[in-house]
Chains A and B, each alone.
Chain A
């Protein structure tokens, strides 16, 4: 193998996140060693690839197992009695405490740096995570304001909020168009009491697309995903000393976050100025508590109010009752992941469907909370219903396979949902948990394994005709989309439609697109590469190949990289 191919293979191995042979197994030339060093230095400009979520657990288990077994009973005893040998262990343990504080201190130390690297950004995140771990619930007043180009501030709304680590919340509108409106989710049900209409609306507790803006858990998630974090100054908010951070999100324009120096939590957020307007969200008051007061999480219809139940679900006593009401003959899953239990069963007669709500045992919920989330403890829901027509995945969803059937996978950053049809039934498993947990529930439901094509894998199919791509033009398109323009570029079906239509009308399109949107079927989508089949005889392109070239996540635009003129291969 020549030196050019050898360095190429080294890059490929690192790109696959695997250990190259050069790292301790095989030696080549000194020149090769120097070049691999350059490769690593360049690659360090990219993102750190973290292990799977269960790494910490596996690590603890493996380290505990690997420490020489002869020490298990004896050394442990020495620690307790304080003999010389245990000295080191004691010192290191106290050092852990120092180190934990040092990590938080690093947060302050980093603030003197001008521009933070991804690694240093992680320390900001770590400091915020640590701070969140200590909180069981919080109560605050948030003001939402608009600032125009002249610097004039107009208060849009003001809310009193309560939120806890179980995902429950209470929001009361104090100022603004919805003044008096109260929205509550107590994990069992969600309701909204609208004073002006004298109506109480009831909704399903989960999934819950609405929470409230500037929720601390959500801010932490945003900071976690940020591309860069830059410290730009200091300020005082409601008498509290804060650091001002400029955050470049993974999508969109940079925004500023004011972090309380003492609690390490965000107190204010300001968007970038766009079209001579910017938006500010600020906690004018915040306190921490053990729990949200019970009376705020208890539903009671106010006197004289009408009740509108938007939740068509009906709780039932057991699976037998659910079967009788819906006519769906299902069995409860044989196996569910450790740490979960069946919390409740509900039915929706009109669909009909059966909904199995699972919840986490306390121990697991605590672990989630430690991982820094105020949103990660929601129950996971499994819905099982009869199919409504032909299975059509949502445009833009990832595609996988379960037991030979196509599966639609949607991950909006908060909730993961997997839907598929099998044996005259339609299944949906959704939850705000890891994909591993979702997969484990799928196995329990059907004995089938969810197969997802590896991201960015080279498609087995090559287009007959390749389309030349101008990468710089694509980067500019991505910037436009980030600024809120041309959102259709995020939809691979729409991009295929425009491409196929322009092949028919290269001079431009007036009126309807000659190739209808409905004629396009996405047959492959792993989030980075996609393939769409066009079921329209007049279309020149029969199969369109797409790729997310600039950014490989939900915010990345799709680009056509080739097409076939023959029918599906």
Chain B
């Protein structure tokens, strides 16, 4: 009973201290709340189960959790291609993962913003309204005084253009 209580307290402490940072990391990758919540939960279950069954030294729990989360995302998204792969948890570069979101994020944001600026005014508007602001096609069409079909085509072309610009920057 005592052991169970300790385990419960441990899970509670671990989740309380780390979930927000982990959730932010996952949300950044998947860009939707439903999946981010789901993967956050799965990451803890996998991380704790793995630790229970392996003699493993973890120096940075935040990096370790992110590593597990990254594996889950990759596994899930690649299942459709029957080509699953995973990061080796034991060998993952924890330092790199820990700093990834703080350092790379700024450069990433900057790169996307710069690419957006290259688009035509209408393309920029459609991307900002539809994706960043989250308006529906109907609302975007009304705001831009265009037909819904035109908005969809404009949006598609803008994304194609962005893809090229971002690939060039890579």
Contact = CB atoms under 8 A, between A and B. Distances in A.
A66 B48 CA distance: 10
Interface in A36-62: 38-46, 48-51, 55-56, 59-60, 62
Nearest to B25: A119
A78 B53 CA distance: 12
Given A45-B109, A60-B12, A92-B48, 20 more contacts: A4-B155, A14-B31, A15-B136, A17-B33, A19-B35, A23-B76, A24-B77, A35-B160, A38-B163, A38-B166, A42-B162, A49-B27, A49-B32, A60-B15, A72-B4, A75-B7, A79-B10, A80-B6, A119-B102, A456-B135
Contacts of A74: 3
Interface in B93-128: 98, 101-102, 105-106, 108-109, 112-113, 116, 125, 127
A335 interface: no
Interface stretch (A110-118, A186-194, A345-353): A110-118
Contacts of B31: 14, 39-40, 43-44
A49 to B, nearest CB: 5
Interface string B50-93: 11111111111110100000000000110111000000000000
Interface of B: 1-8, 10-21, 23-24, 27-38, 40-41, 44-45, 47-62, 64, 76-77, 79-81, 98, 101-102, 105-106, 108-109, 112-113, 116, 125, 127, 130-139, 142-145, 152-153, 155-156, 159-160, 162-163, 166
B38 A71 contact: no
Nearest to B127: A42
B60 A98 contact: yes
Nearest to A41: B112
13 contacts: A15-B134, A24-B77, A60-B12, A63-B11, A66-B45, A67-B48, A75-B3, A77-B3, A79-B7, A84-B55, A89-B48, A456-B134, A471-B125
Interface stretch (A101-109, A165-173, A209-217): A101-109
Nearest to B137: A8
Interface of A: 3-5, 7-8, 11-20, 23-27, 34-35, 38-46, 48-51, 55-56, 59-60, 62-64, 66-68, 71-80, 84-85, 87-89, 91-93, 95-96, 98-100, 102-103, 106, 109-110, 113-115, 117, 119-120, 122-123, 126, 370, 456, 458, 466, 468-469, 471, 547, 549, 561
A352 to B, nearest CB: 45
A35 B163 contact: yes
B11 A60 contact: yes
Contact of B54 (A5, A88, A469): A88
Contacts of B142: 466, 469, 561
A71 B10 CA distance: 14
Contacts of B57: 91
Given A11-B131, A24-B76, A24-B79, A44 B58 contact: no
A127 to B, nearest CB: 12
B78 to A, nearest CB: 8
Contacts of A95: 58-61, 64
A518 to B, nearest CB: 30
Contact of B108 (A44, A126, A466, A561): A44
Q: Do most interface residues of chain A lie in helix, strand or loop, or is the interface mixed?
A: helix
B10 A42 contact: no
B62 A39 contact: no
Contacts of B81: 27
Contacts of A84: 55
A45 B62 CA distance: 23
Contact of A17 (B14, B34, B102): B34
B105 A120 contact: yes
Nearest to B18: A99
A26 B58 contact: no
A206 to B, nearest CB: 29
B58 A59 contact: no
Contacts of A87: 55-56
B38 A62 contact: no
B167 to A, nearest CB: 8
Contact of B130 (A11, A56, A77, A80): A11
B80 to A, nearest CB: 4
B120 to A, nearest CB: 15
Given A44-B31, A122-B20, A92 B163 contact: no
B61 to A, nearest CB: 4
A51 B58 contact: no
Contacts of B105: 117, 119-120
